[in-house]
């Protein structure tokens, strides 16, 4: 089949990518700025006789996702920051019961109801296990409509492979803007990995399957958590992904994810034109974090750029092991940094 | 019904967390109150399965009211087994939404007082759900004696058969003893179901709009 390029909103592109990844069931609840995604799924899931439900709340939606995924189906929900907070209980259960699900957060400004403009204030919640208990899950951070589609498409495979939620952490900018996107080929269901742990369709001779996060015997529960963290260690070796430009000769490395990385790229190019040795380092997997690579760059000077009051900076400091001077430039409340303002900050830091 | 290999039970939070130990079929355990949301999705993915949504009074009528009402209203084709013992069992005897007026609980030490203490009134779940278009069969039984237990079994069978015909939302409420948290011995507790619970939670079919039911049964429910 010829390459198929379309002009799409990020929200729609993520929806189409999910459909093509073989999403069997989608459950959502209206919230701005991700409404186009739910509407897209309504149209295209129902059209294909797949399951679509507009739930009565985000809480209900995430538990529908959990229930569908517990039968072995590919299931997804999407929301925006306040709605993602409501889903955290369900995400914790999915982590505790090792149920693969896909969650898209088209993040907006907070705390509280906040506003509907793009923000990156959900970094801690996303990367630290936003619900109760000891857990992490996959977090993927796209910087463009293309990457939003690609990472959503891949999220289903990653979730299945590692038996845990995979979250795409976008923001209102990625969700709302239109760009050209090359859509992936529909996935052949035959390529899916088997899920012998799922409930339902029990063959004769098989013991009952219980999709369950309950552990009331501390000795057993400790062992189960230790086993899960061994899986996390394996993921830390295999999954980290990042993008970097001009880091080797850089006097200052801009570091950011998602939309703020995009702004940083523009500022870096402007700085380079002025002869300033500025680089860019962008994590694509926020969990597992590309900590090994960042550690190799320890000693370099960093400027973290965020659409928050400073959350991602904590990981930059953590993984440069105190060997780097790490500065912060952030906007919040729905404000997006501009390339010009960022360039001014770069010049201030480099005194040039 | 020959459906053991094609059955999934949704275990809620509460005493019924142990359901997976007692029933020999596949299960999915969900957060407190979210049982109908989980059951909705399981049934949508496995429409040829018998899907049982097992809920206690706290799970269904307090923390999970929204999920219960909306799943019923969508006419989700699973069967809810609603165990009403008018108390929180697992956590040790707190007031439930179905606790009777005057009944004592650790969080209603002077008895449930709907007005002065603002504790509200016991909720008749089936009567509340009967107004919804999606509900097709709602019946209330009890297990305080052999006759009521047999009758309850018939309600459950009828609901399961309706589910497998794809008729819509079905629920059987079961009045159940909790001698431990009622601070009664077992004999006293079956008596209390008869003397106090049944007068308020009337036994019988509350709604029957099943295509598979005869006119007599439908009339009786009205």
**Domain-embedded: residue A184:** yes
CA B138 to centroid of chain Cα atoms: 10
CA gyration radius, chain A: 21
- Summarised one tens digit per residue, pLDDT across range B155-171 is 999 999 999 999 999 99
Supply the pTM of this predicted model.
Answer: 0.97
Instruction: Measure Cα distances from A102 to A77, A171, B48 in Å.
Output: 7, 16, 25
HEC profile of B158-199? HHHHHHHCCCCEEEEEEECCCHHHHCCCHHHHHHHHHHHHHH
**Domain-embedded: residue A215:** no
Q: Bridge-partner residues for B138, per DSSP?
A: B171, B207
Beta strands A178-182; A5-9: pairing state = antiparallel
A34 and A133 housed in the same domain: yes
Which domain-ending residue is among A172, A189, A206? A189
Instruction: Give the distance from residue B193's alpha carbon to the nearest chain A alpha carbon, in angstroms.
Output: 31
Window 27-46 of A, Cβ < 8 Å to B: 27
ipTM: 0.96
Each residue's pLDDT tens digit in chain A (352 positions)?
567 899 999 999 999 999 999 999 999 999 999 999 999 999 999 999 999 999 999 999 999 999 999 999 999 999 999 999 999 999 999 999 999 999 999 999 999 999 999 999 999 999 999 999 999 999 999 999 999 999 999 999 999 999 999 999 999 999 999 999 999 999 999 999 999 999 999 999 999 999 999 999 999 999 999 999 999 999 999 999 999 999 999 999 999 999 999 999 999 999 999 999 999 999 999 999 999 999 999 999 999 999 999 999 999 999 999 999 999 999 999 999 999 999 999 999 999 8
Number of independent structural domains in chain B = 1
pLDDT of A3:
75
Cα angle B11, A131, A172; round to 5: 115
A205 touches chain B (CB under 8 A): no
pLDDT of A161:
98
Which domain-ending residue is among A161, A189, A217? A189
Domain containing B215 — which CATH number? 3.40.50.970
The full length of chain A comes to 352
**Domain-embedded: residue A195:** no
Give the ranges where chain A is alpha helix by DSSP (H): 10-20, 35-47, 58-70, 81-96, 123-127, 145-162, 172-176, 218-238, 258-273, 291-296, 312-319, 339-350
On average, the pLDDT of chain B sits at 95
pLDDT of B214:
78
Nearest CB to A200: which of B8, B38, B69?
Answer: B8
pLDDT of B216:
75
pLDDT of A2:
62
Q: Which domain holds residue A334?
A: 244-350
- Summarised one tens digit per residue, pLDDT across range B175-198 is 999 999 999 999 999 999 999 999
For chain A, the helix, strand and coil percentages under 3-state DSSP, each to the nearest 5? 40, 20, 40
Which residues in chain A have Cβ-Cβ distances shorter than 8 Å to B44? Answer: 25, 51, 53, 68
pLDDT of A1:
54
For chain B, the helix, strand and coil percentages under 3-state DSSP, each to the nearest 5? 40, 20, 40
pLDDT of A60:
98
pLDDT of B14:
84
**Domain-embedded: residue A72:** yes
Write out the H or E segment, with its range, that includes residue B71: helix B65-73
A256 and A167 housed in the same domain: no
Domain containing A282 — which CATH number? 3.40.50.920
Instruction: Determine the residue of chain A that is closest to B69 in CA distance.
Output: A56
The answer, yes or no, to whether residue B217 has pLDDT greater than 80, is no
The answer, yes or no, to whether residue B22 has pLDDT greater than 70, is yes
Contact B29 A66 (CB under 8 A): no
**Domain-embedded: residue A43:** yes
Domain containing A141 — which CATH number? 3.40.50.970
The label of the residue with tokens 């015909």 reads B165
Instruction: Give the distance from residue A96's alpha carbon to the nearest chain B alpha carbon, in angstroms.
Output: 11
Q: Which domain holds residue B217?
A: 4-221
A107 and A25 housed in the same domain: yes
At B7, list the tokens: 């059955």
The answer, yes or no, to whether residue B221 has pLDDT greater than 80, is no
A184 and A253 housed in the same domain: no
Q: Are A103 and A139 in contact (CB under 8 A)?
A: no
Number of independent structural domains in chain A = 2
**Domain-embedded: residue A103:** yes
Instruction: Give the distance from residue A265's alpha carbon to the nearest chain B alpha carbon, in angstroms.
Output: 43
A23 and A142 housed in the same domain: yes
The label of the residue with tokens 């999705």 reads B41
């Amino acid at each position: 089949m010829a390459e198929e390029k379309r002009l799409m909103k990020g929200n729609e592109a993520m929806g189409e990518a999910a459909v093509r990844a073989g999403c069997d069931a989608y459950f959502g609840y209206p919230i701005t700025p991700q409404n186009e995604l739910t509407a897209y799924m309504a149209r295209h899931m129902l059209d294909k006789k797949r399951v679509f439900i507009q739930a009565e709340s985000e809480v209900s939606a995430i538990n529908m996702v959990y229930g569908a995924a517990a039968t072995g189906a590919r299931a997804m929900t999407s929301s925006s920051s306040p709605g993602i907070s409501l889903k955290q209980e369900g995400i914790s259960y999915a982590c505790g019961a090792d149920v693969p699900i896909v969650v898209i957060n088209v993040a907006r400004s907070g705390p509280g109801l906040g506003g509907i403009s793009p923000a990156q204030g959900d970094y801690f919640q996303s990367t630290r296990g936003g619900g109760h208990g000891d857990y992490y899950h996959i977090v993927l951070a796209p910087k463009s409509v293309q990457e939003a589609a690609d990472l959503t498409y891949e999220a289903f495979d990653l979730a299945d492979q590692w038996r845990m939620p995979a979250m795409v952490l976008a923001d209102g900018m990625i969700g709302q803007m239109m760009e050209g996107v090359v859509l992936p080929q529909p996935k052949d269901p035959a390529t899916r990995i088997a899920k012998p742990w799922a409930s339902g369709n029990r063959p004769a001779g098989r013991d009952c399957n219980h999709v369950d996060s309950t552990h009331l015997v501390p000795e057993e529960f400790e062992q189960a958590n230790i086993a899960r963290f061994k899986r996390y260690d394996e993921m830390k070796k295999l999954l980290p992904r990042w993008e970097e430009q001009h880091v080797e000769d850089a006097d200052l490395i801009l570091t950011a994810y998602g939309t703020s990385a995009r702004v940083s790229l523009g500022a870096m190019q402007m700085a380079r034109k002025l002869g300033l040795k500025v680089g860019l380092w962008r994590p694509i997997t926020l969990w597992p974090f590309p900590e090994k690579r960042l550690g190799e760059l320890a000693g370099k000077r960093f400027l973290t750029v965020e659409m928050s009051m400073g959350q991602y900076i904590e990981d930059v400091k953590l993984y440069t092991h105190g060997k780097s001077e790490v500065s912060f430039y952030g906007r919040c409340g729905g404000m997006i940094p501009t390339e010009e303002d960022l360039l001014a900050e770069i010049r201030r830091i480099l005194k040039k | 019904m020959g459906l053991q290999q094609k059955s999934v039970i949704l275990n809620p939070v509460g005493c019924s967390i142990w359901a997976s130990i007692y029933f020999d079929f596949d299960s999915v355990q969900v957060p407190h109150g979210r049982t109908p949301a989980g059951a909705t999705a399981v049934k949508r993915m496995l429409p040829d399965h018998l899907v049982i949504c097992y809920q206690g009074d706290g799970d269904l009528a307090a923390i999970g009211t929204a999920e219960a009402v909306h799943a019923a209203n969508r006419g989700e084709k699973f069967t809810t087994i609603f165990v009403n013992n008018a108390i929180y069992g697992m956590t040790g005897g707190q007031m439930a939404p179905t606790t009777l007026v005057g009944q004592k609980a650790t969080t209603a030490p002077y008895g449930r007082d709907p007005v002065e203490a603002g504790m509200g009134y016991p909720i008749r779940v089936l009567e509340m759900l009967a107004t919804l278009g999606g509900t097709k069969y709602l019946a209330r039984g009890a297990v305080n004696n052999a006759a009521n237990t047999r009758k309850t079994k018939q309600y459950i069978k009828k609901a399961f058969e309706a589910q497998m015909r794809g008729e819509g939302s079905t629920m059987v409420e079961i009045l159940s003893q909790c001698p431990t948290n009622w601070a009664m011995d077992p004999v006293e507790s079956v008596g209390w179901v008869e003397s106090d619970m049944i007068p308020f939670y009337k036994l019988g079919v509350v709604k029957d709009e099943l295509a598979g039911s005869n006119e007599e049964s439908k009339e009786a429910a009205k």
